[in-house]
Structure 1
Amino acid sequence: MRTLAVLAVAVLALAGCTTRDGAGQQAGPSGPAGAADPNAQLKTGLKVTFLPKQVNNPYFTVVGKAIEQASGELKAEYKATGPSEASAASQVTYINTAAQQRQDVLVLAANDRNAVAPALKAARSAGMKVVTLDSDAAPDARDLFINQVDSREVAVKQLELISAAIGGAGEFAVLSATANATNQNTWIEVMRQELATPKYAALKLVEVAYGNDDDQTSFQKTQGLLQAHPNLKGIVSPTTVGLAAAGRYLSSSEYKGKVALTGLGTPNQMRQYVKDGTVGSFALWEPAKLGYLATFAAAALASNQITGAQGQKFRAGNLGEYTVGAQGEIVLGPPTVFDKANIDRFDF
């Protein structure tokens, strides 16, 4: 798996990034030295729609801004749309609308891999390219999936963090997003597999709760977990909304400093909880890079540079060259762990 340099970037700084491509060679904003404009062979004027799990989610706001920026670099038209709640069927109407508006590209994070599949298949048959990110749809319903990290790697990282936080033994719970979220369920399944190994024999997962990627629901679910499990030593929340809500609850409760919290969140959301001792560490990839990569992958599809077949290569702007993996999956890179020592170096 490709290693991407960890950079403290705001979304608008992406165009100036320097990173390493899949071959480990240095690539700058305009690609390798002496190369022609890497965007020259991509179509201009593409219509790009971004459909997040829900609007007004801070994580997807960062992703959306990066898609907008990449669209600008590609001279594409950009629009964002989506539901206010991350429910299973809430995205179908927006998919149908994008197809009716003859959008060239749809970039979405699926709330339910199967619920959105029929609408995506119809949209693709009408000529729209579909790229999923963060949370996949059924593979036969989209062209590419931009996976933020290797699924096993991010699941194991969260287990490592909670194990270290609670001394390697005791009860913990998971505060997830929606019950049908593809990425969440994959990570939780990997955690269960790891918990069955000798390394984590002293850890016990007592409950998986669902906050539906809603702040207030996640806040209440945190309270419920603590009341239902008096011996609870930690909570893992692999969703930015849930992690921030759980941090807010713990920071002003009697459980602060007694119940550990980790998961996946953005530095700007979690900074205060790290500094006040509510959270020791948490992890995430750089969501701006995720959106940026997805947009260039979609443009490569729409420009007929790639079809989504395994082994095909394309250039993702200043992020360098990427290769399509099995079942049309492209992996961004490894997660970053944030703690009190480094969190102020990041702004997203």
Structure 2
Amino acid sequence: MKKGLIVLTLVLVLLTTNVFALKFFFIPKMIGENFFEVAGKGALEMGEQLGVEVIYDGPSEASVSEQVRYINTAINMGADAILISSNSPTGLNQALKRARDRGVLVLTWDSDVTPSYRDYYINQGTPDILGRLLVQMVENQIGTIPTGETLKVAFHYSSPTVTDQNAWTNVAKEIIKNEKPNWEIVTTQYSDMNFPKAVSTAEQILNTYPDIDAIICPDSTAFPGTAKAVENLNKSGEIAVVGFTTPSVIKPYIERGTVLQGGLWDAGLQGAASVYVAYQMLENNVTYEVGDSFTIPGVLGEFDVLANSEQGYDKEFDDLDKNGLIVLPERLIFTRYNVDKYNF
């Protein structure tokens, strides 16, 4: 009788602990910032749908060394996959190599590492797409500059080393250089994804260049920080402030007329897609080949699989096996006419 009870107990334990569940670590650049919280929520919800354990955690400030620590923790805790938005294009490479050497699947999302140290990059849009979108949002507000006049522009974002924002900025600067002869880039400043610092940095830009026409902020903290600085200095309506952040963060500034347009992509979908792709690869042995397109149940639009060189990488990275960019279906522009439609 005791033997039967022991066997029954063991069966119940196996059923309730779900020992075969996959374990994914979803690591943002930093926790507490709205963009990453929205992405984390999407990842957790997709994990629930698929029966995957998703652990969302990361550093409290944008730190490469802290992300390395979280990667090592994930390895030690038996991660099946690490899904990470990197604070550096190269600073996480060796930590991720250790993970892959132990059989851990590595996907990046939002911000990439060197392609040979991950499998796929769940990509919000190539630098060409997003760099041009930044310029377009300024043009939408400023219009055509009369001959002989100069449009003075500043860039303000998190860091000179962060992967994604620098890639978009470089493209935007090339577009300005080659296509906008009467635009002048007067400065580029950084504020480390710290909101008070973003406000003070933007105030310094505005005070140093009182005749500035536009500030471009490809960073979800610098963008609202710059809008706040414009309001602090009573310059609303005088300067075009554009950039990327979640609609819920920029909505108050749009409602007050300080910001006319802001852009982004569905951060929650980016988190969910990261978990979905990792699950399909590990559970169903799905391989995503460059040139493929696929859909996710319940999501409008197709995800395209592109070569790494579309992100600006050397062609040599296109030869990596089971590797490339997986691009979200769409980018968004928020205005006073549509910002209420979005709930993230």
TM (norm. structure 2) is 0.84
8 Å Cα contact 1:86/1:212 also seen in 2 = yes
Per the alignment, residue 182 of structure 2 pairs with: 202
Per the alignment, residue 88 of structure 2 pairs with: 112
Tell me, yes or no, if structure 1 residue 150 matches structure 2 residue 126: yes
Deviation of 1:304 after TM superposition, in Å, equals 5.2
RMSD: 1.9
Per the alignment, residue 102 of structure 1 pairs with: 78
Instruction: Give the gaps of 5 or more residues in structure 1.
Output: 1-42
| Residue correspondence of structure 1 range 165-314 to structure 2 within 5 A | 165-169=141-145, 170-198=151-179, 200-303=180-283, 305-307=285-287, 309-311=289-291
- What code does the residue aligned with 2:188 have? V
| Residue correspondence of structure 1 range 56-71 to structure 2 within 5 A | 56-71=32-47
8 Å Cα contact 1:156/1:190 also seen in 2 = yes
3-state DSSP of counterpart to 2:202:
helix
3-state DSSP of counterpart to 2:174:
helix
Q: Distance in 2 between matches of 1:88 and 1:101?
A: 20
Pick 1 or 2: higher relative contact order, CA cutoff 8 A, min separation 6. 1
Deviation of 1:127 after TM superposition, in Å, equals 1.1
| Residue correspondence of structure 1 range 32-71 to structure 2 within 5 A | 45-71=21-47
Tell me, yes or no, if structure 1 residue 316 matches structure 2 residue 296: yes
3-state DSSP of counterpart to 2:87:
coil
Q: Distance in 2 between matches of 1:312 and 1:71?
A: 24
Q: Structure 1 residues 336, 112: CA separation in 2 closer, same or farther (over 3 Å shift)?
A: same
Deviation of 1:168 after TM superposition, in Å, equals 4.0
Q: Structure 1 residues 300, 313: CA separation in 2 closer, same or farther (over 3 Å shift)?
A: farther
Q: Distance in 1 between matches of 2:41 and 2:53?
A: 13
Q: Distance in 1 between matches of 2:156 and 2:170?
A: 14
Q: Find the structure with the greater CA-based Rg.
A: 2
3-state DSSP of counterpart to 2:221:
helix
Per the alignment, residue 341 of structure 1 pairs with: 337
Q: Distance in 2 between matches of 1:298 and 1:66?
A: 14
Deviates more, 1:317-326 or 1:298-307: 317-326
Deviation of 1:313 after TM superposition, in Å, equals 6.1
Q: Distance in 2 between matches of 1:218 and 1:321?
A: 35
3-state DSSP of counterpart to 2:65:
coil
Per the alignment, residue 163 of structure 1 pairs with: 139
Instruction: Give the gaps of 5 or more residues in structure 2.
Output: 1-18, 146-150, 309-323
Aligned residues: 305
Per-residue CA deviations over 1:109-140 (Å, capped at 9, x if unaligned) read 00002000100011011111111001011101
Identity %: 28
Per the alignment, residue 7 of structure 2 pairs with: none
- What code does the residue aligned with 1:172 have? V
Q: Structure 1 residues 66, 204: CA separation in 2 closer, same or farther (over 3 Å shift)?
A: same
Q: Structure 1 residues 246, 323: CA separation in 2 closer, same or farther (over 3 Å shift)?
A: closer
TM (norm. structure 1) is 0.83
